[in-house]
């Protein structure tokens, strides 16, 4: 750790490094939900202070905000507009509007804050990768302890932090416990420092990407191993898809201009053509197994999705309902508009909210896909975008933004890096009527 600590050149790097490696300590006091949003907005204040000259930046001239960051800022600002209009359309009181606004500050607004901070501040991505892998080593040490606590018959929740009285979220975000019991599965699910098991897997996906891009092979092994262990012990079904895609798909997407990805794609296409029927049956069986692994959960999620979509389409297509609503016994009283980012956006913020996330995600994907062909930092950021995309279909990104912040910083860092255009692309992009430089 010493070499990394010596390379911390700025206040923001100190804050980021120690915030990550102190995760388990913050979890013990139930402080993660409050600490990380404060960190995000503090980094924004530092960035603005540097830009305005209030804070000394040793003569560093601020650069223009990258277009990718601007798109994220505009998209997350659109969430506020949809939020207010949705509340007004359904005559929700001012107190609820205020509560929802603070939810935006710790959710969608926080995503834009970290991406802006990553792009505007001088934070080395290697600091984030190493700090996350140090956290991964701590997590590997904590795993047998959490398993032992679960097997000992201890309560699943040891205590709830008094910080919950500061507001902003439900008790699970402030609980300190080892596991949860799943009635549809024989055994327990470790929740680690997240409010529930699948949210821990979400963090593990981010840790997996950081593990893949650490310069030290030993830390890479630790980061990747910890991510796989967390996904297994949290029993996240989404990880069955996310981990193979990240381990296989990310290298393929990052080498589109080389011959071997095209060769692999050609072989796979040929095999798929010859074995179309068998592959279809295999996909159908895998889908049924995926759903059947936790049939009750799949049923509730599907019902919530149908309700959210139907009511969005019929009642509030443009700006949504403004807030989630309690569900019926059919969905075990789960709120309509929860458990799925896209259905939730349609129900709560309408088509405006849906596009406010879809457009920035798409922009970042294609921008980073182009940069990833030559830039390893952009490859890591592309992996973070894939993590956000995959988890958006199983989790509500808004309420878990405080856990995704290292990945958001990496996306911001990659957004400010220049596109290193390969010669092949230069030839394709050069206009056919361009004048040769030697011709006068």
Task: Please enumerate in sequence order all residues whose Cβ is within 8 A of that of 356, keeping only pairs 6 or more positions apart, or say none.
Answer: 75, 76, 78, 79, 82, 108, 345, 349
367-402 pLDDT, tens per residue?
999 999 889 999 999 999 999 998 988 888 999 999
Residue by residue, DSSP assigns 153-181 as T--S--EE-GGGGG-SS-GGGGEE-SEEE
358 falls within a domain:
no
SS (H, E, C) 333-364: CCCECCCCHHHHHHHHHHHHHHHHHHHHHHHH
66-125 pLDDT, tens per residue?
999 999 999 999 998 888 887 777 767 777 788 888 888 999 999 999 999 999 998 999
Quick check: helix, strand or coil at residue 189?
A: strand
287 falls within a domain:
no
Reported as a pLDDT band with limits 50, 70 and 90, residue 432 is: very low
Region 199-204: what's the mean pLDDT?
Answer: 94
90 falls within a domain:
yes
440 falls within a domain:
no
306-361 pLDDT, tens per residue?
777 787 777 778 877 777 777 666 655 577 767 678 888 888 888 898 999 999 99
332 falls within a domain:
no
Name the range with the highest mean pLDDT among 195-204, 288-297, 427-436. 195-204
355 falls within a domain:
no
- Total of domains in the chain: 1
The domain of 86 spans 2-251+376-428
Say which residue, 136 or 56, is predicted with more confidence: 136
268 falls within a domain:
no
118 falls within a domain:
yes
């Amino acid at each position: 750790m010493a070499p990394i600590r010596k390379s911390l050149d700025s206040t923001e790097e100190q804050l980021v490094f120690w915030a990550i490696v102190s995760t388990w300590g913050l979890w013990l006091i139930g402080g993660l939900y409050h600490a990380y949003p404060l960190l995000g907005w503090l980094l924004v204040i530092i960035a603005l202070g540097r830009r305005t000259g209030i804070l000394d930046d040793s003569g560093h001239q601020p650069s223009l905000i990258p277009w990718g960051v601007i798109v994220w800022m505009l998209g997350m600002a659109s969430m506020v507009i949809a939020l207010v209009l949705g509340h007004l359309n359904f005559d929700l009181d001012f107190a609820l509007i205020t509560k929802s606004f603070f939810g935006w500050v710790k959710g969608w607004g926080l995503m834009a804050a970290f991406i802006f901070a990553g792009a505007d501040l001088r934070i080395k991505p290697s600091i984030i990768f190493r700090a996350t892998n140090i956290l991964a080593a701590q997590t590997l040490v904590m795993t047998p302890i959490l398993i032992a606590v679960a097997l000992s018959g201890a309560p699943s929740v040891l205590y709830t932090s008094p910080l919950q009285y500061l507001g902003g979220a439900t008790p699970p975000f402030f609980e300190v416990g080892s596991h949860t019991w799943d009635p549809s599965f024989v055994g327990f699910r470790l929740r680690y420092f997240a409010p529930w098991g699948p949210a821990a897997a979400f963090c593990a996906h981010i840790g997996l990407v950081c593990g893949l891009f650490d310069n030290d092979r030993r830390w890479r092994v630790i980061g990747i191993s910890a991510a796989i262990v967390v996904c297994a012990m949290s029993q996240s079904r989404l990880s069955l898809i996310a981990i193979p895609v990240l381990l296989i798909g990310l290298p393929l997407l990052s080498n589109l201009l080389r011959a071997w990805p095209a060769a692999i794609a050609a072989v796979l296409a040929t095999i798929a053509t010859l074995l179309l029927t068998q592959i279809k049956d295999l996909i159908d069986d895998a889908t049924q197994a995926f759903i059947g692994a936790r049939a009750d959960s799949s049923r509730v999620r599907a019902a919530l999705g149908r309700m959210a979509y139907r009511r969005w389409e019929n009642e509030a297509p443009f700006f949504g309902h403004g807030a989630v609503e309690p569900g019926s016994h059919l969905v075990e009283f789960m709120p309509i508009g929860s458990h799925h980012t896209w259905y939730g956006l349609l129900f709560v913020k309408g088509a405006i909210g849906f596009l406010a996330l879809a457009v920035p995600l798409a922009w970042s994907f294609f921008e980073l896909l182009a940069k990833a062909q030559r830039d390893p930092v952009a490859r890591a950021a592309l992996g973070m975008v894939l993590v956000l995309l995959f988890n958006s279909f199983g989790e509500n990104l808004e309420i878990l933004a405080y856990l995704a912040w290292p990945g958001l910083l990496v996306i911001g860092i990659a957004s400010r890096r220049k596109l290193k255009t390969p010669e092949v692309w230069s030839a394709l992009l050069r206009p056919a009527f361009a004048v040769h430089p030697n011709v006068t």
